[in-house]
Each structure stands twice: as structure tokens, then as C-alpha cells.
Amino acid sequence: MNPQKTNWHNLPPETLTTNLQVDIKQGLSETDVQQRLQQYGVNRLTPQRGKSPLRLMFEQINQPLVYILLAAAGVTAFLEEWVDSSVIFGVVLINAIIGFIQEANALKAIDALSRVLTVTSTVLRNGQRRSISATDLTVGDVVFLQSGDKVPADLRLLQIRELQIDESALTGESVPVGKSIATLNDDTVLADRCNMAYSSTLVTYGSGLGIVVEVGDRTEIGRINSLLSNTIELETPLTKKISQFSQLLLWVIMGLAALTFAIGVWRGQALLDMFMASVALAVGAIPEGLPAALTITLAIGVSRMAKRNAIIRKLPAVETLGSTTVICSDKTGTLTQNQMTVQALYAGEQLFDITGSGYTPNGEIGLKGKIVAHSDYPALMECLKAGLLCNDARLIAEPDNWRIEGDPTEGALQEKMGSSL
């Protein structure tokens, strides 16, 4: 087996099975699995290196305005102005604690979500179908796919039956992609590799069989994960303005303090008296309440977002969302709720209106503005039965809403047809 990166979409099935040393009718043996797990590793993305508590706390005070406040607290303490020094230092400490707690809680929530979202897969091993955790997959495993499954690794498809896969997480295209088993040209771009199924994408329709060709960080989604770990964190509009304001304020305060000191000495005042007066002026000019006000305001925004099930790791990110004025969206419609709803039905040469929205099984059938009983219209009944029975989607009730597994169109048909019958 060749551990180097391979254009799997360009290999004929016979060459693929030969290179991977696997029989698609028997699958891998337990001995093969253990050897390949040692060679290729566990089918899991390498988690990004987390931040230590000390670094998280340091990031909360790594701001120009906070440095000014710390300097003011130190100078006032040197002048034995203990009350002023304690108040300024307390403000800095409270700001740092609030920011630290918020970011630590967000990181814990994100980590908890990643542990909960486990994926199981149906594989062929020793000639028998088995359901195993996706992390136990290895290169050469024969994997079965069906509607509602999450693709557990990068697969080269060998058998399909009207297979369609939602690859929006990888390519951005929200429309499911129809798959085939034809061998493709070597230079075929990723979005057009219809004989491949990629990790973390969702099977919306049909079924298929494929061989695992890449696992873990070597998958396409693993490459994206590696790129994300090297991204540069950009400043938000608020942090940029605060940084600019802090630097400007620093120079203005230092300039006024120096000017006060120079004028006092020029007029014959004692050097020590003028130095203390200049320091008092600098301390008084620093808006020590500004960081606290900003932190509290942002914390309120984060709290409100959390009530809407939106996890925000950094406080300034709330301001970034609030300052957005233009949203650009392409044809994929990624800003929609990604729900389809049946609103009209034509049967027996009559057009029926259907109320309700989303996947919640409710709504009524109307004809010319009046609610009607479906049993009074045989053609309508047959149409409803066809939409319900010729359907592979699943409608699942959750505590707060309903969701589907499978093709969105079939889910919309099942929701309306099932609630009407």
C-alpha cells in the first residue's frame, strides 16, 4: 500500500482494490485492521492545541488601555494613595476575570459538543456486517452508506443506488450531489469528483458502498482543519478603535502631564510637588471605568446570544456581529434555514393550498380559500399516499423542534403528507 497522497478518483476499481489489498466481498480481517491502525493512525482529526489558563488570563489584560490602568495603579500605590490604587487595580482584575470565565466556558461548551457528536459506521469485516465507531475505521475498510448517514472518512465509491450526498460542509454547495462510480480524469477538481464521498458530508438519498482511502488528518476535511490551526486572528472593529483610542489617550495624557510639570518648574514650584501634581493629573485623566463598561456591555450581549443557542468564545465577537451592515450570499443559500415546505398540491385537476412551515407536522389543506377534508378527494388521497410511501426520509421529534434525516425534499413531503393523512 502506498501511504502517499493519491488521486483515488482516477483509479479503476480493480486497481484500487489491488493497491489497498482488500476484497470487497470479505472486507478486512482483524489482523489487517490492527496493522493498518498502527500505520495510518486513528480516524480522528487532531485537536487544535488549547490555551493554558495562564495564557487565557494574560490575553484579558494584553490591551493598551489596561496597561495604562496598571501603570496608574502602580504610580498611585507608590504615592501611597491606597484607595485610588485599589479601585483601579480592582477594575482591571474584574475585567480580566469576566473575560476569562466567558472564554473558558465557551471553550468547554465547544469541547463538549465535539465529544457528543460521535459517528457510527456500518462496515464489512471478515465477511460480516458490523456497526463500529467511525474512529475505528482504517484505510481499506468497506463501508456501507444509506440515507441519513454521515460519511465517516474519505471513500472511493464502488457501488451506488441513486446515491446523493450533501457536501455543503466541504464545497459550500447546498444542493446534494449525485454520485457515480465512473473513473474520472486525474485533473478533476474536488467539487466534481462524483465517485468520491468525503468525511463529514451527509448522505441525503439512496445507498452505496465504498472503500476507505483516507482517514483522520489526511482526509479533505482534515486538511481544512490543519489550515484553520494556522489562521491569523484579526482584530474586531471595536478592539481596533479601543487600541487607537488608548494609544492616542496615552500620548495626550503624557503630553499634558509633561507640560504641567514644565510650566510648574518654570514658575518656580518644587520639583517633587510638580511631579506629584503631574502624576495626579495623569491618573485622573485615565477613564478607568471604560474597560469595565465595555466588558459588562459585551457580556450582556454574549448572554443574550447564549439564550439563542449561539456559543461565542470571545467577548469582542459580539460587537463584530452587531457592526455588520452588509451580508453577501451566493446562490447556495447558506443563510437560509435549509428547510423545505410544501405549500401547494395539484391533484385531480385541482390546486390545493397547504398551510404551515418548516418540518413541524401541522397545517391544513385548503381549496379556494376553504379548509377541506382530504378523504373527500380520491385523487388528493392517492397523491398524499405516494408522497408518504415513496420516501426514504425520517422525521424526528426533538424537545424544541423537528428535524429530518435524508433528502430535504422528501422530508418536506413526508411532513405534509404524514400530517394530512
Write phi, then psi, for 122 (nearest 5 degrees). -100, 120
Pick from 154, 188, 161, 193: nearest CA to 177: 193
Active site residue 111: no
Residue bearing cell 471605568: 289
Beta bridge partners of 209: 144, 159
The CA distance from 183 to 408, in Å, is: 29
Amino acid, single-letter form, for residue 383:
C
Residue bearing cell 468520491: 196
396 membership: H or E segment, kind and range: strand 394-397
The CA distance from 216 to 15, in Å, is: 23
The CA distance from 249 to 401, in Å, is: 51
Pick from 250, 293, 294, 287: nearest CA to 88: 287
β-pairing verdict for 196-197 and 350-354: unpaired
Pick from 342, 336, 357, 358: nearest CA to 404: 358
276: CB partners within 8 A, 6+ apart: 79
Marked catalytic residue, from 330, 353, 392, 400: 330
253: CB partners within 8 A, 6+ apart: 68, 281, 282, 285, 286
Write phi, then psi, for 85 (nearest 5 degrees). -65, -40
The CA distance from 188 to 304, in Å, is: 46
Cα 15 to chain centroid distance, Å, stands at 37
Pick from 284, 411, 413: nearest CA to 343: 413
Residues 344, 347, 351, 352, CA torsion sign: negative
Pick from 218, 292, 294, 230: nearest CA to 1: 218
Which positions are catalytic? 330
